[in-house]
Amino acid sequence: MSSEPLWSENLRKVYSSKGAPPVDALAGVSMSVHPGERVALLGRNGAGKTTFLRIASTLLRPTSGSIRVFGYDVAEHPERARPYIAVVPQEGKPFFHLAPREMIYTYLRARGLSRETSKTRTEEAIERMGLTEFANRLCITLSGGQRQRTMVATVIATEAPLLFLDEPTIGMDPFARREVWASLRALTAKGSTILLTTHYLDEAEALSHRLYIVERGRVIVSGTSDDLKRSVGGTLKVSLPEGARHVDSFQSFGSTVTDGSSLTIIVAPERLGELMDLTIRRQLTATVGPVTLEEAFLRVVGRKIDED
C-alpha cells in the first residue's frame, strides 16, 4: 500500500515549453516497489523512465497523480522523502576536482553519517567496486567507465533505504557491470530497496525481481521476466535465416517477426515437430533456442529496445 518504499498512481508529466508542442512524458503510471525488491524499468529511448525517476527522487514535480516514498507524498513533502533516497542520475558525473575516495567520503559525511562509518564504508566501496588503483586520482582524469563506477559506488555506499539508479552500468565493461550487480544484491540483502532503469535486457533479467516495461509514458507490462516470456505465448524461438518470404506459411504456429530475409517464430514446444516438418519441406535451415527476454520485449513492444 502507500507506505511501500515506492508507490505511484496515475502519475502524469507533461513538459511544456514556449514555442514547442507539449510532451506527454508520463501518461498515467501506476506502480509499486515492495521492501527489499530490485525492480527494473525497461523501455526504449524517450519512453519516460528518467522522467519517472526524477519525479520519484524529488527533482521534478509531476503534472498530476500521486507518488509516495515510504508513505510520504513526494510532491507535497519532498523534504520528508529525501532522507530515504539516494540517486544515480542519468549521465551523472562525480565532482571532477575530487578523487573517488574523497568523493565517496564527502558524500557520506554530507548525508550525516559519522566520520568512522563514512571512512569504513568508503574503503569497502572502493574495494568492492574495484576503484583501488585510481581512488586517489582526480575524477577529471578518469575514463567514462571509471567515473560511472565512482558514481555508483558513492550511492551504494550510502546504504539508503531506497536507491534510484538511472542506467547505472552504462559505459562499464562486463566485469564492472557484474560488480555492480553483486553490490546491488548485497544491498537488498541488507534491507534496501532498488529501482533501476536499464537498456540491457540481460541486466534486467539477472538483477530484477520484477520489471515494468514502459512505452510512450505508459506501463504496458509488469511482472517477472518469466511472466513476460510466458505472456508472448511460447517458450521456444525458431530462427529461419532465409524464412522471411515464407512468413505466411508459418503464421499459424505463433507470433512471427521478419527482419530482412530472416524470420523468427515463437512457438509452444508441442508444435515444434510440425513446424520442423514444414521447415524441411521448404528446404530451410532453422535454429531452435529458448525465448529470451529480448525476444519477449520485441513481441510485447513491437520493436527492439535499442531501435529508434
Ligand X SMILES: Nc1ncnc2c1ncn2[C@@H]1O[C@H](COP(=O)(O)OP(=O)(O)O)[C@@H](O)[C@H]1O
User: Minimum CB separation from ligand X for residue 301, in Å?
Assistant: 12
Nearer to ligand X, 47 or 129 (CB): 47
Binding of residue 50 to Mg ion (CB under 5 A): yes
163 Cβ neighbours under 8 A, 6+ residues apart: 85, 86, 87, 88, 155, 156, 184, 187, 192, 193, 194, 195, 196
Stretch that binds ligand X, among 47-55, 93-101, 250-258, 283-291 (CB under 6 A): 47-55
User: Minimum CB separation from ligand X for residue 17, in Å?
Assistant: 6
Nearer to ligand X, 42 or 207 (CB): 42
Binding of residue 92 to ligand X (CB under 6 A): no
Binding of residue 114 to ligand X (CB under 6 A): no
User: Minimum CB separation from ligand X for residue 45, in Å?
Assistant: 5
The interface partner of residue 23, options being ligand X, Mg ion, none and the CB cut-off 5 to 8 Å by kind, is: ligand X
What is the spatial distance between Cα 302 and Cα 161, in angstroms, rounded to a whole number?
36
What is the spatial distance between Cα 129 and Cα 176, in angstroms, rounded to a whole number?
7
Produce one character per residue of 6-35: b if its CB has 16 or more CB atoms within 10 Å, e if not: bbbeebbbeeeeeeeeeebbbbebbbbbee
What is the spatial distance between Cα 32 and Cα 29, in angstroms, rounded to a whole number?
10
**CB-based contact 146:101 (threshold 8 Å):** no
Nearer to ligand X, 15 or 84 (CB): 15
Residue pointed to by grid coordinates 558524500: 107
Judging by beta carbons within 10 Å of its beta carbon (0-12, 13-18, 19+), is residue 84 exposed, middle or buried?
middle
The interface partner of residue 15, options being Mg ion, ligand X, none and the CB cut-off 5 to 8 Å by kind, is: ligand X
Binding of residue 279 to ligand X (CB under 6 A): no
Binding residue for ligand X, selected from 9, 10, 12, 23, defined by CB under 6 A: 23
Stretch that binds Mg ion, among 59-67, 86-94, 246-254, 256-264 (CB under 5 A): 86-94
Binding residue for ligand X, selected from 2, 3, 45, 252, defined by CB under 6 A: 45
Binding residue for ligand X, selected from 31, 33, 40, 47, defined by CB under 6 A: 47
Binding of residue 94 to ligand X (CB under 6 A): no
Total residues in contact with ligand X, by rule CB under 6 A: 12
Give the contact letters, 24-43, x = binds to ligand X (CB under 6 A), - = no.
-x-----------------x
User: Minimum CB separation from ligand X for residue 19, in Å?
Assistant: 12
And the C-alpha cell for 307? Answer: 531501435
User: Minimum CB separation from ligand X for residue 223, in Å?
Assistant: 19
225 Cβ neighbours under 8 A, 6+ residues apart: 204, 205, 208, 211, 293, 296
Residue pointed to by grid coordinates 524517450: 46
Backbone angles phi, psi at 65, to 5 degrees: 95, 180
Site residues, Mg ion (CB under 5 A): 49-50, 90
